[in-house]
Structure 1
């Protein structure tokens, strides 16, 4: 197919969108729903919340005219999460092929162009002519008038440059020479995140990390080994046509490698045989190493996954105080207790920066602090655009306050485990170094040789997603002196 464009087709006339006349609603397509989701995200909504709401609407029929197949629901999810993850790359293409930069495009046109360029660049299974035609129709359905011609011309020009001759594939994207900006545009991250990665890793590993975070994540489960063996759980999922694989170094973890559908419909959910929990998050409780009969305090616990894992490791003997600062979050903990049956877990509401209840009472304290989430960017598509250096600074201050107060809960000779799901050194290594320099009588206790991840020379655990193939985490075990 020839992707031709007229001489003036790239001009972008100012158009006032027309008001649609009232008429019987036609069923919405997957691309229309994806466009609506992107528009909501652009206005500040969280990507996962929007997707959940949109897809639940298609199930219940609460949104007029929406009836989607499972395949189309998958397409909606791919288009939205993919377009959000790849936003910087897509905007660079819009800058390159349009007369106006992405920042000055009509807001609805911008979302439509992102959808079109995403499909052309990243979805091999959608034919070029189908991408162009459906994206142009989407522009027309939004009453963008002559701007639909702009969509047609820009996408066709990209397609023509991507395949300049038969059986020849080229990358039309023009990249700067400066390394940080080059990596940021190519892999779609803000420059400051690339700079953080480059401060810790060589550039080839930075690229590998960026590529990992741009892949769709697998669903990972923690099997309740007090109720079900790992092999039995694998067989249970196999009977349902779902491949579940164990994860080396994490005794209770399974990774579902095939599409599983709604979590609540998976076998064993109602029986409380498992919980959704990333494999690296499970390592946190193993490093804490809780023992039956002990008093454990989980300082930032909601929705309670680690508290419940701790109770399982304690064989439901002892006490696990599961703390969070709002009633809605502690209610989520209780819901998980009810399903999974961990009767020793006790939710309690309060701010861990000033909670006086537990002074000197904890045999072990878990501190999985609020963080930037820069180790889970594949699971949270919009996090790379929401976090900033300033927001990280604010989190560092919050983490310091929680760490200083929660450390007073630990008995002499007891343990505190500090954990984050970020890879940012300010939130991790720097926090621990500062704490140890200001608090005598605390030392790092390295994990035993049998632990699933080898520690660093300093004694803490740093999980690198592109190496260990699980979420990025930082975990360190601190021991308080007996006197």
Structure 2
């Protein structure tokens, strides 16, 4: 389970229009006597708040009245976070040496650079006119002239096909902290680190699971009748990829529980577990409950679904009710002190809180809110959760330990330490009990654990199947 707060999902710009060939979108400008805040004003205000507090909330909520503007807001705010380091570099290349920008001016320039580089469907003059106007209104004439000059300079470079930016190191080019890229190079090698960093900047849409009694093909047809295009996922059976999801949440299919949203990596591990878990199963750290829902639909008997948060457990219950699936018993409890006797369940699914570095594709703020010193702060809790799960598992039972982290300290090394401290447990390869689909075999490590790295179809995920031998 990710330690990151719930977030809205960024969609490709094409999907914001809801059309295969969208018309150019001109976000509403703020008139002098109009109290309605413009999209860019709200983006700059919220990005400034994020920089000051570290609290990430790319959800426009009631801040913007127009639905299309709210979607554009999410796209711009996510883009600022996703590409921020590179955007700053492009700005600095166009400033006279020694100029120090106020944070709000630097953010306005970064937003303008992002739009000029990545939002081709918005006319450049719309971007420049409003940003210059916003800066003039908030900071005065001189800063607005600076913003105008820098962005027009960039516009001329782009029109003349000048490379923007020039050659840059991997961490700058893909907008990651140096320490994070250095870790991945050390742990995965230079070539794989490049693939991870580049994949983190690509998020093509969302994946959904068909609900009770539906196949992927039937769900696809149902959504098509409501104007939503969904394609079968290339590597995950029954999963559908929705790239243009402008109206997905207003469909009858959603209201009637014909699908729920779940990342492909989580869908894969749910498929594996459904084929391998037997007897009574306890899902710890379960909210928001996507894996629980998938397991129940695949015939797994969940003795209880457990999470520490009452609010998040309400979300679990609501998901089961919307999808019209019988909800297993819900247990609000601390996973480190479960109110269960020793040797009381056959299996524990333990999707632990972690650094969530495998989810940067959809949660780009992690790059800037996580530091090298804080990255591994979840390790003690992960260890406590593992040992408590070991207490309640019966002999010959299993613990399915999982994270959405790319960091070995939270994955393979955490498991190695646990096995040394609890010698009655062994790491059981996923392919031992049942052959793996050919499209998934590459994700099993030599040791028998499960390691998915970010690519064009999945996010990062780790899972180990730990068997109690006695």
- Give the TM-score band, short-chain normalised: 0.7 to 0.9
1:427 and 2:410 aligned: yes
Q: Contact between 2:265 and 2:461, CA under 8 Å: does it hold in 1?
A: yes
Distance 1:127 1:40, change over 3 A: same
- C-alpha distance in 1 between matches for 2:236 and 2:90: 42
Alignment of 1:112-191 (within 5 A): 112-163=108-159, 165=160, 168-173=161-166, 175=168, 182-191=169-178
- Aligned counterparts of 2:327 and 2:65: Cα–Cα separation in 1: 44
Measure how far apart 1:36 and its partner are: 2.4
1:363 equivalent to 2:346? Answer yes
- Determine if the alignment matches structure 1 residue 86 to structure 2 residue 76: no
What's the counterpart of residue 456 of structure 1? 445
Question: Higher Cα Rg: structure 1 or 2?
Answer: 1
Instruction: Report if aligned partners of 1:290, 1:296 keep a CA contact under 8 Å in 2.
Output: no
Q: Which has the higher contact order (CA 8 A, sep 6+)?
A: 2
Deviations 1:282-324 (A, max 9, x none): 2222222368983111110111111121111126xx4431111
Per-residue CA distance 1:363-403 (angstroms, 9 max, x = gap)? 11100000111111111121111112222221122211111
Give the gaps of 5 or more residues in structure 1: 1-22, 58-62, 176-181
CA distance in 1, matches of 2:97, 2:77: 23
Residue in 2 that maps onto 1:259: 245
Hey, what does 2:232 align to over in structure 1?
Answer: 246
**Normalising by the residue count of structure 1, what TM-score does the alignment of the two structures yield?**
0.83
From the superposition, tell whether residues 214 and 443 of structure 1 become closer, same or farther in structure 2 (CA, over 3 Å): same
CA shift for structure 1 position 80: 1.0
Partner of residue 72, structure 2: 75
Offset at residue 213 of structure 1 (A): 1.1
What is the number of equivalent residue pairs in this alignment?
433
Would you say 1:35 and 2:44 are equivalent positions?
yes
> What displacement does 1:278 show?
0.8
Deviation at 1:162, TM superposition (A): 4.3
Contact 1:319 1:344 (8 Å CA) reproduced:
no
Once the two structures are superposed, the pairs formed by residues 1-400 of structure 1 within 5 Å of their partners are 24-44=33-53, 46-47=55-56, 49=57, 51-52=58-59, 54=60, 56-57=61-62, 63=63, 66-68=64-66, 70=68, 72-99=69-96, 104-163=100-159, 165=160, 168-173=161-166, 175=168, 182-224=169-211, 226-261=212-247, 263=249, 265-289=250-274, 294-314=279-299, 318-400=301-383
Contact 1:95 1:101 in 2 (8 A): no
Distance 1:477 1:162 in 2: 51
Q: Is the 8 A contact 1:30 1:68 kept in 2?
A: no
Output the CA distance in 1 between the equivalents of 2:42 and 2:204.
22
The alpha-carbon distance between structure 1 residues 357 and 170, as it changes in their structure 2 partners (threshold 3 A), is: same
CA 1:309–1:376 in structure 2 vs 1: closer, same or farther (change >3 Å)? same
Mapped to 2, the partners of 1:393 and 1:81 lie a distance apart of 25
Summarize deviations over 1:132-161 as a string: whole Å, max 9, x none: 333211211324331111111222233344
SS of the equivalent of 2:349 reads strand
After TM superposition, the runs of 4+ consecutive aligned structure 1 residues lying more than 6 A away are 290-293
With over 3 angstroms needed to count, the CA separation of the structure-2 counterparts of 1:138 and 1:129, relative to structure 1, is same
With 119-128 and 389-398 compared, the bigger mean Cα shift is at: 119-128
Q: Distance in 2 between matches of 1:43 and 1:358?
A: 46
Q: TM-score, normalised to structure 2's length? A: 0.85
Contact residue 311 and residue 320 of structure 1 kept, 8 A = no
5+ residue gaps, structure 2, are: 1-31
Report how far residue 82 of structure 1 moved. Answer: 0.4
Equivalent residue, structure 2, for 1:466: 455
Secondary structure (helix, strand or coil) at the match of 1:199 reads: helix
CA contact (8 A) 2:206 2:261 kept: yes
The structure-2 alpha-carbon separation of the partners of 1:386 and 1:299, relative to structure 1 and needing over 3 Å to count, comes to: same
